[in-house]
Amino acid sequence: MNCLRVAVCRLRVSLGHPGSVVTDQRRYRLAQAVLECADTFQFTESLACAQRSATAQQRLSGYERALSHYSGDYLPL
């Protein structure tokens, strides 16, 4: 368990904020603010917003915004 605590401490330091990793019911997770900075979060949020848009022009704009967050495969081989 000590190795896990050390790893979490190092992760918090790497992310630059002590609140970047939180515990919830004896589980570790990334804070919501950290998740919202991730390109995948921004991509899926933009995509969902585009799909909810009322007009074709708004959908197109939303899809373009979503695509702007895509920078390639997650783990290219």
Q: Residue 33: which residues within 8 A CB-CB, separation 6 or more? A: 20
CA distance 19 to 69: 25
Q: Break the chain into its structural domains and give their ranges.
A: 2-34, 38-68
Q: Tell whether the model's pLDDT for residue 11 goes beyond 80.
A: yes
CA distance 18 to 12: 5
Q: Given this model, what pLDDT does residue 31 score?
A: 93
Instruction: List, for residues 24-52, the tens digit of each pLDDT value.
Output: 888 999 999 998 988 889 999 999 999 99
- The whole-model pTM stands at 0.64
